[in-house]
Amino acid sequence: MEKTVLIIGAGVVGTLTAFWLAERGFRVRVLEQKSGAALGTSYGNAGIVALGHAEAWGSPSTPKHIMNAVLGRNAALKISKPLDPALWRWGTGFLRESTDARYRFNSNQLLRLCEYSIQQLRAVGDSEAIEHHRLDIGALYLFRDPELFRARVISIAKDPDATRLLEIKSREEILEMDPALATMSESLAGGIFSSRDISGDCRMFTQALSNRLITSGRCEFCFGTTVHEFLVDDSGMVTVQTNQGVLAADHVVVTAGFASTTLMEPLGIYLPIYPVKGYSMTFPILNGNQVPKYPGIDEDHLVSYARYGNRLRITSVAEFAGDDESLVSGRLKVITDFAHRMCGDALDYANVEQWAGLRPATPASSPYIGRVAAVSNLWVNAGHGQLGWSMSAGSGRLLADAMSGQSLELTGVSSKADWLIPL
């Protein structure tokens, strides 16, 4: 008999998990409280599948960055709720992951999952013929601070996987590759080129894939469905209490990003995910010759940019503001100022799409992927942070393979927890 699955959350992680489970022969129903797919964190992200940025947040330099944020010295890193008890609890784990050894381990974990995920994302995009402005030309990661650049070069040299995948570039080599970056030339110390990186519109991809799954009958998407709680029966299995009644399935998968924490809490499970608010602005392009060809990230200022056809998406700011999703004009100004410095009058500043969303960050930066130890039919695929688009296809396939009893092509990529049987 066909096994049934309920997936909670229709962002890019949930939708790709649904795809892979349907491919493995499961009958899949996706529950989403919003009116469509990719209307949360997947809506306005940077859109770079970023091997070059597969780096753990926690590092030996973390305390300095935190202090600068507290003192208001870093425009792209903001701690707006410093007294939030949830932030303090999460932050304790984050600081434990900020030693040199943990930073190198966690970064390698992210890199391996991102490399695998790129392969899977290409495969899905090609097999489903999904148009989402995909660019398959690699990405540039730019450094202004010579010390920061040197530290990243040393980090890459210590990791055989990073050495294999990433190329160190001088300022001159970067400008030769992308002359439109000439506006930044005097401040550049160097950069990293990741030839395997791709970029594309995550929202466009996710919505197109969900529509394909619906119209082909491979999955059912139940929009406007709010999950209230899990109900555990005498056999140790969960059913799902929703605004549409109680729903049951052979398996339940939580892919709800930050909202996963409130779902798991009544089960006595602390899921250490904190929402880190990011902002994006999408500009119509007026003069393509003045806009960078390669997608990229300004690592000093935490600004990402990528072209989607005749649009340029710029994202920035990591704000610790609890569950506040409001647009703050001062944060958006960081993006606008960067756009002016990099592109000048090549963009249409009068017709801009603005967005803010909550990126679900874990202390180790890697997501939680696996089965809940105490509940035989409950699985989790959540906590992808700023690399949700980068890790979604890979984490979704790995979870689907584990649930169907297939051997995994990759292991050791999940964050560990005492409540989780991780992949």
* Confidence grade of residue 276 (pLDDT, cut at 50, 70, 90): very high
Per-position b or e across 346-385, b if 16+ CB within 10 A of its CB: bbeeeebeebbbbbbbbbbbbbbbbbbeebebbbbbbbbb
Averaged confidence pLDDT in the chain: 95
Which CA distances in Å does 272 have to 141, 259, 260? 29, 11, 10
Which CA distances in Å does 165 have to 52, 112, 114, 143, 262? 8, 10, 11, 18, 38
Q: Pick from 245, 246, 144: which is nearest to 189 by CA?
A: 144
List of residues 6+ apart from 211 with CB closer than 8 A: none
Retrieve residue 103's tokens: 């930073």
Dihedral, 159, 165, 170, 173 alpha carbons, nearest 10: 170
Q: Pick from 214, 217, 264: which is nearest to 238 by CA?
A: 264
- Are the C-beta atoms of 47 and 199 separated by less than 8 Å? yes
- Are the C-beta atoms of 47 and 305 separated by less than 8 Å? no
* pLDDT score of 105 more than 80: yes
Note the pLDDT of residue 17. 98
What percent of the chain has a predicted confidence (pLDDT) above 90? 93
Note the pLDDT of residue 242. 98
Note the pLDDT of residue 87. 96
Note the pLDDT of residue 137. 97
Phi, psi of 204 (to 5 degrees): -60, -45
Distance between CA atoms of residues 344 and 289, nearest Å: 12
Retrieve residue 141's tokens: 């990661």
Retrieve residue 256's tokens: 């709800």
- Are the C-beta atoms of 42 and 202 separated by less than 8 Å? yes
* pLDDT score of 289 more than 80: yes
Note the pLDDT of residue 418. 96
User: Average pLDDT for residues 260-286, to the nearest whole number?
Assistant: 97
* Confidence grade of residue 71 (pLDDT, cut at 50, 70, 90): confident
Which one has a higher pLDDT value, 76 or 315? Answer: 315
- Least confident window among 58-72, 315-329, 376-390: 58-72
Q: What are 242-259's pLDDT values in tens digits?
A: 999 999 999 999 999 999
Note the pLDDT of residue 69. 80
Which one has a higher pLDDT value, 364 or 63? Answer: 364
Note the pLDDT of residue 236. 86
User: Average pLDDT for residues 227-252, to the nearest whole number?
Assistant: 95
Q: What are 16-65's pLDDT values in tens digits?
A: 999 999 999 999 999 999 999 999 999 999 999 999 999 999 999 888 88
Distance between CA atoms of residues 417 and 341, nearest Å: 44
Distance between CA atoms of residues 149 and 138, nearest Å: 19
DSSP state of 162: H
Q: Is 183 exposed, middle or buried (0-12, 13-18, 19+ CB in 10 A)?
A: middle
Q: What are 109-151's pLDDT values in tens digits?
A: 999 999 999 999 999 999 999 999 999 999 999 999 999 999 9
- The DSSP secondary structure of 208-235, one letter per residue, reads HHHHHHHHTTSEEEEET--EEEEEE-TT
User: Average pLDDT for residues 230-241, to the nearest whole number?
Assistant: 93
Distance between CA atoms of residues 135 and 223, nearest Å: 30
* pLDDT score of 185 more than 90: no
* Confidence grade of residue 274 (pLDDT, cut at 50, 70, 90): very high
What is the 3-state composition of the chain as percent helix, strand, coil, each rounded to the nearest 5?
Answer: 40, 25, 35
Element (H, E) at 107: helix 100-127
Domains of the chain, each with CATH number or no CATH: 4-42+203-271+367-422 (3.50.50.60), 62-104+133-197+274-361 (3.30.9.10)
Please name every residue paired with 231 in a beta bridge, in sequence order, or none if there are none: 239
